[in-house]
Structure 1
């Protein structure tokens, strides 16, 4: 087990709900927190009677939701102009950024819920939802739904796995990271295809 995981376990052990809320909110902003590990361990604590299942679920879901909201508003305040400033370093020109913004406004909101389950991808959907000025009411509903389902999945998993929670979580995390990379690649290819099809329609 890495030092970070030991630190996370120590915080949950000593501060329980407050530690869970703060760390999940920070993790959604982009602070390197092993979110799935954190929630599965919290689920395991409910078996030991140190934490209540319903309260743990609500705190985890609310902490995740608040973090996703902060990310949304940071993205919205910084906006596309910020992305245009750093774009040249990421090989993004103004035309590509506008195309990405348009594409995300049309299709990206569908990724908000599923994006929770893939490390790194959830941060992209939160920040870019704000940058592309996705309607906040729709975003909040999807973010809240995703936060609840994500928390329910991993806290329940920790409760079901019992003493085996740690080993299974590390294996699962490895596959989720790979899945996130594949999902990002698929989204990127669909994005490129939509741009190419848009160019073809303009030429016609």
Structure 2
């Protein structure tokens, strides 16, 4: 077990619901927290009677939802203007920024729910939802749905696995990271394709 995982277990063991809420909120913003590990361990704690299953589920869903909302507003307030300032250094001009925003308006919101299940990718969907100024009411519904499904999945998994939660979680996390990389690559290729189509339409 790595030091970070051991630290997470210690926080949950001592602070329980408050620790779970704060760490999930911070993890969704981008602070390096092993979220799936955190929730499966919390689910395991419900089998020992140290935490209540329903309350743990509510706290986890609320914490992750809060983090996704903070990420959305950070992206909305700072994202596009900041990107426009540093764009020339990254060869990312105004047309490309507008094309990326248009692409996310068309396809990106569909990834918000499924993005929860892939480490790293969920942060991308939250920040870019804000950067693209996705309708907030729609974002709230999708983010809340994803938070609930994600929390139910991993807290229930920790409860079902019991003493085997740790071994299975590490294996599952490894495959989710790989899946997230593949998903991010697919999204990037779709984005490049949309840029190419946009450029072609301007030339016609």
TM range (shorter): over 0.9
2:30 aligns to what?
A: 30
Map 1:158-169 → 2, pairs under 5 A = 158-169=158-169
The answer as to whether partners of 2:26 and 2:67 remain within 8 angstroms in 1 is yes
SS in 2 for 1:92: coil
TM norm structure 2: 0.96
- Calculate the aligned-residue CA RMSD, in Å: 1.2
Map 1:57-96 → 2, pairs under 5 A = 57-96=57-96
2:129 aligns to what?
A: 129
> What's the offset of the Cα at 1:98?
1.3
The separation in 2 between residues aligned to 1:39 and 1:86, in whole angstroms, is 37
> What's the offset of the Cα at 1:193?
1.6
| 1:73-120 superposed Cα distances (whole Å, 9 cap, x missing partner) | 111111311112233444422221111111001110000000000111
Which 4+ stretches in 1 moved above 6 angstroms?
none
| 1:134-185 superposed Cα distances (whole Å, 9 cap, x missing partner) | 0000000000000000000000110111111001101111111111010000
The answer as to whether partners of 2:99 and 2:194 remain within 8 angstroms in 1 is no
2:111 aligns to what?
A: 111
TM norm structure 1: 0.96
2:120 aligns to what?
A: 120
- Within the alignment, does 1:141 sit opposite 2:150 as a pair? no
The answer as to whether partners of 2:96 and 2:195 remain within 8 angstroms in 1 is no
1:176 aligns to what?
A: 176
Q: How many residues align?
A: 204
The separation in 1 between residues aligned to 2:97 and 2:198, in whole angstroms, is 15
Q: 149-158 or 191-200: which moved more?
A: 191-200
- Within the alignment, does 1:157 sit opposite 2:180 as a pair? no
The separation in 1 between residues aligned to 2:137 and 2:45, in whole angstroms, is 34
1:54 aligns to what?
A: 54
> Where does structure 1 lack aligned partners over 5 or more consecutive residues?
none
- Within the alignment, does 1:196 sit opposite 2:178 as a pair? no
> Where does structure 2 lack aligned partners over 5 or more consecutive residues?
none
| CA pair 88-165 structure 1, distance change in 2 beyond 3 A | farther
> What's the offset of the Cα at 1:201?
4.0
